[in-house]
Amino acid sequence: MNKNSRTFALLSLLLLTFIFINAISTSKIKTPKNTSEKYEIKALKLPPYLNLAGERIPLERADIKERMDRELLVNTYWQSNGLLLIKRAHKYFPVIEPLLKKYGIPDDFKYLAVAESGLQNNFSPAGAAGFWQFLKSSGREYGLEINKNVDERYHIEKATKVAAEYLIKSKKRFGSWTLAAAAYNAGNARISRSLKTQQVASFYDVLLNAETSRYVFRIVALKEVLSNPEKYGFLYDQEDLYVHQEYRTVKVDTVIQNIASFAKHFDTNYKELKIHNPWLRQNKLNNKSRRMYEIKIPVK
């Protein structure tokens, strides 16, 4: 190879090296995922119109948009909880929906029960209990029987009636279902005091504590996700959903000395009877007043 050929080869090599180094430095190197290649977390687009009981949420306001976006993100990407709520809703909404309609409450308020308890008979650190999370004082004020033997906060039908009465009372006081929902969380007195002190009349204008400030948006987010599960990535078959076991009702106006024995008399057991009647808190029914109770008996 002569001198000119060697010089040309060297220049060509230097040029190719420069091009290669420049390509590496200017190109975007894809970082390998630490999750499945199919797993993505996508920013959500807020629907242009969201409402609670027909009352529009003013999403054109920056702070309102951010608060709504937060709750929609949380309830979309907490996937296990979301799927459980969808399954439970299939079981319990058919019980709650006709009762809300009967008492004149908008259907959207079934999602308030979801926000309160996740459709479980929970007991909170503050002492609230049942699907609708009543404190003892509130439950008794509205006529629920609450003692060591019987606690009707765990009676879904009776507790739904009380929730409806509370919401109607709040709606009459504030003239807004949105404020009624906020009052369910914070109490009528606190909402009324905050509105008066801050000289406003809307939930979207009043500054409240962190929990109540999120509360209405959480209800609406749950409504949006549970009403449109596939839109938010929740896929399931019909047989995946939870259903109520059939039962019949037995009326009792006497003392039950031993509920386990009572259950065996109806060809069931204590556990099954308690699942259907969580308001029975002990293995007996004192019933000193000879009140008429309706006990659900599972049908096999």
Task: For residue 199, count CB atoms less than 10 angstroms from its CB and return exposed for 0-12, middle for 13-18, buried for 19 or more.
Answer: exposed
**What is the number of alpha carbons within 13 Å of residue 207 lying toward its C-beta?**
3
Give the Cα separation of 203 and 153 in Å (integer). Answer: 28
Give the Cα separation of 276 and 83 in Å (integer). Answer: 23
Name the percent of the chain lying above pLDDT 70: 89
Q: Is the Cβ–Cβ distance between 75 and 222 less than 8 Å?
A: yes
Residue for token pair 């409504």: 223
* pLDDT-derived band at 203, boundaries 50, 70, 90: very high
The pLDDT tens digits of the residues spanning 264-289 come to 999 999 999 999 999 999 999 999 99
The pLDDT tens digits of the residues spanning 217-255 come to 999 999 999 999 999 999 999 999 999 999 999 999 999
Tokens representing residue 133 in the block? 């999370």
What's the DSSP call for residue 233? T
The pLDDT tens digits of the residues spanning 15-67 come to 556 555 565 555 455 667 676 787 888 899 999 999 999 999 999 999 999 99
- Which residue from 243, 225, 245, 214 is spatially nearest to 83, judged by alpha carbons? 225
In 213-241, which positions are buried (b, 16+ CB within 10 angstroms) versus exposed (e)?
A: bbbbbbbbbbbbbbeebeebebeeeeeee
Confidence (pLDDT) at 100: 98
Residues 77-98: what's their mean pLDDT? 97
Q: What share of the chain is helix, strand, coil (3-state, %, to 5)?
A: 55, 10, 40
Is the confidence at residue 117, as pLDDT, over 80? Answer: yes
Give the Cα separation of 58 and 104 in Å (integer). Answer: 25
Give the Cα separation of 214 and 69 in Å (integer). Answer: 11
Q: Is the Cβ–Cβ distance between 300 and 253 less than 8 Å?
A: no
Confidence (pLDDT) at 34: 73
Tokens representing residue 224 in the block? 């949006």
Is the confidence at residue 202, as pLDDT, over 80? Answer: yes
* pLDDT-derived band at 84, boundaries 50, 70, 90: very high
3 state DSSP class of 182? helix
Tokens representing residue 18 in the block? 């420069």
* pLDDT-derived band at 9, boundaries 50, 70, 90: low
Write out the DSSP string of 220-231: HHHHHHHHSTGG
